[in-house]
Structure 1
């Protein structure tokens, strides 16, 4: 990587300069409004606090816009961009600061405060609230900072260094105390978490018995489905004359479904259970409506791996009977033990741990409904 990788083309530099000039003009208008007491105070803030907040918003937006322009101008073969995209070192903020604009410097979360009487440095006039005198660095590292900008940047940088040093020692000490406090705690063979005296810390590790190493965010497809889409995916339209699933089911299996009432009852019960589970999932578990949830077993990937391992040919009709799939999934659920033990308390807990319910309702039951996509 070289200096050349940080240089944007002339058109981009012109756009960056325009963005910064517009922001400075906007700040000037805000200063005039504040001086004339025309600025509307925000709820819970004084007029000066509202003014500072608005100025920060304008200048931060200018920095971000300038940075975006700079990033878009760099080609895919640019070494700096490649390094950031690959994740080796650096971030897009670094590219922005090198190429476009370093941005507002802050001390204790505010613009640079007055150090001298009514001004930050002797280089500025008193009562100057403009961007330059309060720590806005409009130059990039490539163009070079003015002496005042350099001084403000050093002030912001000093706070960052102190912060880092303090956090390192404090978090290190907190971590050491935690380790010392928990060094005798372990998961015992009965599934409980206990200390060296045998005191129960948790009846189940992490309250759900799941290893965080294996948990990953997974999409619950049925959660955001409309009723019509849900019925199309999960419900068999056996009485519909146009229903003819010969593309994924053998004719004798279709005939079984049409003629054997017990099978139809089983599948009606399955769909009803799916609907009840989806309702419980939406009203009690995933109440935020977010369809991505941390779950321990990625069934979709397991199925995909099995399809690859056993070289499943999607062009051929499956010889699996739908009833066989329902039975297999039922047996799998019977074997799943989150809470070990045969005593009444363990049996009851096994029935109702919340994360296990999420897992079953969201992942296992749809597998039954989507059996046509599995085999």
Structure 2
């Protein structure tokens, strides 16, 4: 269903004159003017995390962190964290015996860690090829580069991640201590992530995909080497390269786990990157100006400049719309909280609440969404679209 077109300004002026001015001249009553049709999607399921709103966060009650939409036509998401704390298996039945696969970077991995810490859940790393070796880091690997698993035993729910370095297909990050072959995202999916998920209690029934943070780092490293400014927007050629690679990774993910819903997580704005970097200590030295002449501040500031972050976020929307993927805009919700990046609160409650709600939306079924009637979405065939639980 296409979105209704807006009425042109000339038509609006004409209607105003005819229905108001002329009616007043005639001395007749003035009826309310309705220039647009009522919202015909009000009975469809909205995504509160995609609506304009505000982040409610109380340091005294971090579990009460909520995203509150401004539009009255879209209710806030249920308080999923409280339901988890209460172990409400009835309200959370849509999570039973499921596996959630999160493909992305350290933001996603940290969210899993913090989720486990918040609820005291079992958490462990495993080799890609041997799920029985819980807590074992294989020789030559870094624990940041192998899967982490979080269990919610009373739901039979498993969450796990797969780390990759964005759209890079040239192994440009081989010097990083946590890098390990294969480097290309598609190869990691085939040779690592698919091998890992095949050993889990259940196949993935929901996938979150992100590529952005390391893509900015990839372009930034090039600029630093070429003595170019990272404050300049990406060239048209770089835009074409990223869009092509991002679409390829999304398509490969879908083909690897056919019929499974894949949501695209958008990039957040990192903010200032300096000695007190909001990123991890192990990587911040590489991401900021290092004092060398070839990386002089007037030529290079950091990889995550505002102009490029905004540009990449728009590119992500373009890819998601073209590929029919729903979007989780973590960056939009987290904007203004950059000082808390890397900390447990409020990022973790926000991230996990949205993740659970999006699984719930898939449980309801895409045809019941407002978004389904607003733009084309890729069909989902392998998620159990049973009747929604009360929420």
TM-score range, shorter chain: under 0.3
Q: Which has the larger radius of gyration?
A: 1
Higher relative contact order (Cα pairs below 8 Å, separated by 6+ residues): 2
Q: Going by fraction, where is strand more abundant, 1 or 2?
A: 2
Q: Going by fraction, where is helix more abundant, 1 or 2?
A: 1
TM-score normalised by the chain length of structure 1:
0.19
